Structure 1
Amino acid sequence: MALQAWYMEENKEDQTLPHHCNPKEHVSLSKLAELGVLYWHLNPKDYENDKEFQTIRQTRGYNYMDLLDLCPEKVENYEEKLKNFYREHIHADEEIRYCLEGSGYFDVRDKDDRWIRIWIKEGDMIVLPAGIYHRFTLDTTNYVKLLRLFVGEPVWTCYNRPQEEHPSRKEYIKNLSEKVGVALQAY
């Protein structure tokens, strides 16, 4: 099953709802790739032995990983953590997430500063480039189990918007302007 993404209607209602525009405006994988968002659909039931997953890790240098079980029963200060994940921010490094169970939304900004909602489900692995404005929330299932991957030691530092002078943001904008209309390839 292919990844689903769409332009969001901006409002202050329940963040776990889909928030489709009316009419719906779906976003293709190639459009996401133009923004630097990479995607694979893998086998989450046997990720430890999945050859494709191992090749991606080796090729992209993802040498550290851990698990995040995100639901009210398993996370201390759950509501506060979810609020923090949903604040618009960037990172100095890529954000790599592989959904093993459940589902949730990654929202990213497009070139015109519009929100695109990406619905990740079991088997979806995405890479958000360093410097892209984004946020995360659960959907109405209220559960996701994510494998978080990193190059080197894990770094979770968020830089809340605005961050136009941050080096990773400047590099992202530079790369985006150089690649206008050129889709990036996932593995």
Structure 2
Amino acid sequence: MVQAWYMDESPEDPRRPHRTEPARPVGLEQLRRLGVLYWKLDADKHENDPELEAIRRDRGYSWMDIVTICKDQLPGYEDKIKMFYEEHLHLDEEIRYILDGSGYFDVRDQEDKWIRISMEKGDMITLPAGIYHRFTLDEKNYVKAMRLFVGEPVWTAHNRPADHFEARERYVKFLAQTA
């Protein structure tokens, strides 16, 4: 099962867990109140998984690809890792399904505090449009992930501040309703 927790403020290596002291775990219900959805699937069956197909059909995910993030397989690795870790938002949902390896998605809560979500093989997450977030590998430095989209893929990340976008305004209203 996925683990999530509040992060400390340390500027040290972002690939480390960065748990607050004392630890402040975050459950799935709190993530749901932020609009973050989670599934645990069998990554070894991703090519013919009826559960994945049902999720894709129900949520309208019509496009997908697979990306491997590691030094040997991702051109421009160092620059891309830095870019992924810049705080940003998207105008569409971000969907990632971890097929192998592991990494962290960090999301902002209602008080603008960072929550770290540890993702590993079989974890699938959906981040809502307009949520500030970032991604980093963990100390294993490897992840293979499926990226899903509704319609054609949109790769544009809008670095913070990006509060003027309609997607951000809708997300802030959503947070106010779930408070």
Give the equivalent residue in structure 2 for 1:40.
39
State the alpha-carbon separation in 2 of the partners of residues 24 and 176 from structure 1: 24
The residue type equivalent to 2:160 in the other structure is: R
State the alpha-carbon separation in 1 of the partners of residues 106 and 97 from structure 2: 16
Give the equivalent residue in structure 1 for 2:75.
76
The gaps in structure 2 that reach 5 residues or longer are none
The gaps in structure 1 that reach 5 residues or longer are 181-187
State the alpha-carbon separation in 2 of the partners of residues 119 and 39 from structure 1: 12
Give the equivalent residue in structure 2 for 1:171.
170
Q: What SS does the aligned partner of 1:6 have?
A: strand
State the alpha-carbon separation in 2 of the partners of residues 111 and 74 from structure 1: 36
The residue type equivalent to 2:75 in the other structure is: E
Identity of aligned residues (%): 56
Q: CA deviation at 1:21?
A: 0.4
TM-score by length of 2: 0.99
State the alpha-carbon separation in 2 of the partners of residues 56 and 10 from structure 1: 36
Q: CA deviation at 1:27?
A: 0.2
Q: What SS does the aligned partner of 1:59 have?
A: helix
Deviation by residue 1:17-69 (Cα, 9 ceiling, x = unmatched): 00000011100000000000000000100112111110000000000000110
State the alpha-carbon separation in 2 of the partners of residues 98 and 66 from structure 1: 10
Give the equivalent residue in structure 2 for 1:67.
66
Counting matched residue pairs gives 179
State the alpha-carbon separation in 1 of the partners of residues 155 and 73 from structure 2: 19
Q: What SS does the aligned partner of 1:49 have?
A: coil
Runs of 4+ residues over 3 Å off in structure 1: none
Q: CA deviation at 1:115?
A: 0.1
Deviation by residue 1:96-132 (Cα, 9 ceiling, x = unmatched): 0000000000000000000000000000000000000
Q: CA deviation at 1:91?
A: 0.2
TM-score by length of 1: 0.95
State the alpha-carbon separation in 2 of the partners of residues 58 and 3 from structure 1: 23
Give the equivalent residue in structure 1 for 2:149.
150
Q: What SS does the aligned partner of 2:47 have?
A: helix
State the alpha-carbon separation in 1 of the partners of residues 43 and 107 from structure 2: 24
Calculate the aligned-residue CA RMSD, in Å: 0.5
Q: How does 1:19-168 map to 2 (within 5 A)?
A: 19-168=18-167
Q: How does 1:2-21 map to 2 (within 5 A)?
A: 2-21=1-20
